[in-house]
Amino acid sequence: MERLSSPLHSRASVISQEPKSPLVRRPRTGGRSARVVSTVLRTTLEVLGHQGYAGLRVDEIAERAGVNKTTIYRRWPTRAHLVVAALTNLATPPVAVETGHLESDLQATFMTATTLRATPAGRGVVRALIAERGDPEVDRVVGEIRERHRAPARRVLEHARRRGDLPKRVDLELLLDVLAGTINARLRERPEPLDPQWVGRVVRLVLSGAIASSRVRP
């Protein structure tokens, strides 16, 4: 297993992972288009935080943002598309860093993570979404955001397994549950940025346990 002996790599191959999804669209950026996107997404978060998903209406967002309703629908054809875009804009998913060194790659990848709870607006949105879990559309939105935040680390782990750095018997989804759950809990509980040394210790501990347990015959 690689030691975290080098700093986060300036020469690293950094690959942005944006999972293909029907809820993810890339709006055009630049000039007025960029301003419209920014205003609409900010307004969506404000309405979502105060009124919840059930109370979110595209008509109201368009009026508050000072744009035509058709302008919103051209970019985000459904309410779910709009909310996913707003949440992704507020809390950017991690970026996969791949240099071929598993521990340092995972450390660097998780260091790019942000959380919805980092701002008052984000905390309001989280409360609203938690209150409405069980609604199929809300669950779909939450699942989409969750997957976008897990996919980069999954990519790093899958490539490591192909290289032989991880045993084939390792349960990658369970490994992700423990890694992402621990790091996201830390992001929720403390406002300061992640400590790279702490992230490195978490990664090393979890990887060591996963590799050791994979060698034990059931």
First to last CA, the chain: 23
Q: Name the residue with tokens 């521990």.
A: 103
Q: What is the mean pLDDT of residues 185-208?
A: 88
pLDDT at 177: 94
CA neighbor of 157 nearest in space, from 142, 172, 147: 172
Cα distance between residue 24 and residue 27, in whole Å: 10
Question: For the whole model, what pTM was predicted?
Answer: 0.71
| Residue 61 near residue 72, CB atoms below 8 Å | yes
The dihedrals phi and psi of 159, each to the nearest 5 degrees, come to -65, -35
| Residue 17 near residue 155, CB atoms below 8 Å | yes
Residues of the chain within CATH 1.10.10.60 domain(s) are 31-88
The CATH number of 31-88 is: 1.10.10.60
Residue type, 92: T
pLDDT at 14: 41
Judged by average pLDDT, the poorest of 35-49, 82-96, 161-175 is 82-96
Summarize pLDDT for 164-184 with one digit per residue, the tens.
999 999 999 999 999 998 988
The dihedrals phi and psi of 15, each to the nearest 5 degrees, come to -120, 115
pLDDT at 186: 86
Phi-psi region of 30 (alpha: psi -120 to 50; beta: other; left: phi over 0): left
pLDDT at 93: 80
Summarize pLDDT for 128-143 with one digit per residue, the tens.
888 888 889 899 988 9
How much is the CA Rg of the chain, to the nearest whole Å? Answer: 19
Residues of the chain within CATH 1.10.357.10 domain(s) are 93-214
Which option is the CATH number for 93-214: 2.160.20.60, 1.10.357.10, 2.60.120.10, 1.10.10.10?
A: 1.10.357.10
